[in-house]
């Protein structure tokens, strides 16, 4: 299965394009990325995770976090292999990311962009997935400030366990 046809990547695209739930984009792709043996921070999924993170920061006016993160995305996108560029309009994505970096550095208001799909097979999977996905309302406080509204106890517990293992 191509990287982009995995159900979690399809969900990522739905969240990114339909209601701009960048926090959820991060969550589903992190789950996918962690499931891949030997995946590292150079894996293409890590770049898409950073893209969602940068967009999330920018929308919340965290210009420093958005700039740092989107710069990493702009640097990594050109290193993708040809097969990683076959499903999404990659040239348009690079233009959007570079434009976003410039806008963030000037502290311009948030401006979203879609991931343009060029693969009919991937587009069909996206259309099918969005029929069964429950999306929060576009532009809602629940989407914009999602990280502040979630239960983080499991994450904090996992972080404490890792710290104990290092000592």
pTM to 2 decimal places: 0.83
How crowded is the C-beta side of 5, counted as CA atoms within 13 Å? 11
Residues 7-14: contacts with CB within 8 Å, 24+ apart? 7/129, 8/32, 9/45, 9/48, 10/122, 10/125, 10/126, 10/129, 11/129, 11/133, 12/48, 12/52, 13/115, 13/117, 13/122, 13/126, 14/126, 14/129, 14/130, 14/133, 14/135
Cα separation, 143 vs 77, in Å, equals 26
Domain ranges of the chain: 3-166
According to the model, what pLDDT value does residue 96 have?
A: 98
Summarised one tens digit per residue, pLDDT across range 73-119 is 999 999 988 777 888 999 999 999 999 999 999 999 999 999 999 99
Q: Is the pLDDT of residue 38 over 90?
A: no
Tell me the CATH architecture of domain 3-166: Orthogonal Bundle (1.10)
According to the model, what pLDDT value does residue 18 have?
A: 85
According to the model, what pLDDT value does residue 152 have?
A: 46
Q: What's the pLDDT band for 71 if we cut at 50, 70, 90? A: very high
């Amino acid at each position: 299965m191509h990287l982009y046809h995995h159900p979690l990547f399809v969900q990522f695209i739905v969240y990114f394009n339909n209601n701009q739930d960048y926090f959820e984009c991060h969550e589903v792709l992190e789950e996918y990325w962690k499931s891949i043996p030997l995946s590292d921070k150079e894996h293409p999924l890590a770049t898409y995770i950073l893209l969602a993170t940068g967009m999330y920061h920018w929308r919340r006016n965290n210009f420093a976090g958005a700039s740092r993160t989107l710069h990493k995305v702009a640097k990594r996108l050109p290193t993708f292999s040809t097969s990683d560029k076959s499903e999404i309009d990659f040239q348009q994505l690079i233009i959007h990311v570079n434009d976003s970096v410039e806008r963030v550095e000037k502290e311009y208001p948030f401006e979203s962009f879609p991931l343009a799909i060029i693969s009919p097979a991937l587009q069909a999977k996206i259309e099918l997935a969005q029929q069964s996905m429950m999306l929060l309302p576009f532009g809602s406080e629940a989407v914009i400030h999602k990280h502040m509204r979630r239960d983080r106890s499991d994450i904090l517990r996992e972080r404490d366990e890792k710290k104990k293992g290092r000592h």
